[in-house]
Amino acid sequence: SRPILDMSYSRHFLDFQGSSIPSSMKKLVVTKLSQNFREAVTLQQDSPVPLPGDGDLLVRNRFVGINASDINYSAGRYDASVKPPFDIGFEGVGDVVALGLSASADYTVGQAVAYVKAGSFAEYTVVPARQAVPLPSVKPEFLTLMVSGATAYLSLKELGDLSEGKKVLVTAAAGGTGQFAVQLAKKAKCHVIGTCSSDEKGGFLKSIGCDHTINYKTENVESVLRKDYPEGVDVVYESVGGKMFDLALNALAIKGRLIVIGFISGYQNPTGLQPIKAELLPAKLLKKSASVRGFFLNHYLSDYKMAMQHLLKMYERGDLVCEVDFGDMSPEGKFTGLESVFRAVDYMYMGKNIGKIVVELPHSVNSKL
């Protein structure tokens, strides 16, 4: 370990009495573009710990979140101009262990923060202070809100037009973001239908207020919807793609809205897509005066802080369940350490998780923070 205090950058770097930060760390790096996460990503053992600039925080990550789009990122689908090697991981929760002078106006060493920024699959991440979200404590539940909760909240608020009595279908409802779509639609006094892949997930969905669960492994979703909702559903929160997209489109009511927040069924394919019956789309939308809207969180960042404040208040009041899945039921047990991110991504694509998949990053006991 080296002491933080080093006069060569002391103007930009505030010390926490007697603490020390190692000079090197582990992190995950995309070394080859591929939708196969294990092929694309390498665990580097001795990367230098980055130094925060004047307006930055150095965050020691304690929990990092797994997202379906980690695979899209490792395949280079978001920005074709970015070439490997590049850092990966979208969100983290941890402690501020060092910070720049300007950042010290709002933050202190030892403070708990969450953030959304590429490069969270690392022991330490530099985060611009203006992008950080201060937290009352370091808890994995807060991490569930950063991407998954905010996506559900902002997409339904901006595109859902929810009101009492509306029928809302949530696909992959027991997943990281589906759990929030279910709860937020219920708060708006809607009737919520959730698809899932097991009776255990169905039980979880009922516990958070879902009115009608459909296990797509044992039930025919299309025929259940046709029988129980002959007039159709008003809003679909859709993250699966492929056949589920076609089925959801067919289930729309007059003036219904289908919100696309992802299409996980295709991400592991070379193209990132599963075929849909798109040639029928104009006729189907016209026939029902229906609409399909896409939602990508990056386009709504101006509303992000407001969304986070709202969600944090809901959680602290006990109005929101933030289900975390640490992989305790996975074959090799709990997801601990950066090396387990690979297993966690596999677990997500096997559809095993209930709630948000989170990996814990343990830190050695000799740290003084």
Task: Give per-residue pLDDT as tens, 239-296.
Answer: 999 999 999 999 999 999 999 999 999 999 999 999 999 999 999 999 999 999 999 9
β-pairing, 291-294 vs 252-260, is parallel
Only one residue has tokens 């009495």, namely: 17
> CB under 8 Å to 117, separation ≥6 — which residues?
90, 91, 125, 127, 128, 131
Helix (H) or strand (E) holding 258: strand 252-260
For residue 39, the SS3 value is helix
Residue 10, pLDDT > 70, answer no
∠ CA 236-238-244 to the nearest 5 degrees?
Answer: 100
C-alpha 158/C-alpha 338 separation (Å) is: 35
pLDDT digits (tens, 9 = 90+) for 141-160: 999 999 999 999 999 999 99
Domain 146-299 listed as CATH 3.30.460.80: no
pLDDT digits (tens, 9 = 90+) for 319-351: 999 999 999 999 999 999 999 999 999 999 999
Band of residue 117 on the pLDDT scale cut at 50, 70, 90:
very high
Q: What percent of the chain lies above the pLDDT cut of 70?
A: 93
Residue 45, pLDDT > 60, answer yes
Residue 77, pLDDT > 60, answer yes
pLDDT digits (tens, 9 = 90+) for 229-253: 999 999 999 999 999 999 999 999 9
Tokens of 168: 């809302």
Q: What percent of the chain lies above the pLDDT cut of 90?
A: 85
Tokens of 44: 């580097």
Q: What local confidence, expressed as pLDDT, does residue 93 receive? A: 98
Tell me the whole-structure pTM to 2 decimals: 0.93
Q: What local confidence, expressed as pLDDT, does residue 54 receive? A: 85
Q: Average pLDDT, whole number, for the chain?
A: 93
Domain spans in the chain, listed from the N-terminal domain onward? 24-138+323-360, 146-299
Query: How would CATH label the architecture of 24-138+323-360?
Result: Alpha-Beta Complex (3.90)
For residue 311, the SS3 value is helix
Q: Are the C-beta atoms of 249 and 281 separated by less than 8 Å?
A: yes
Quickly list DSSP for 99-155.
Answer: E-TGGGGT--TT-EEEEE-S--SBSEEEEEGGG-EE-SS--HHHHHIIIIIHHHHHH
Band of residue 196 on the pLDDT scale cut at 50, 70, 90:
very high
Nearest to 202 by CA among 139, 194, 141: 194
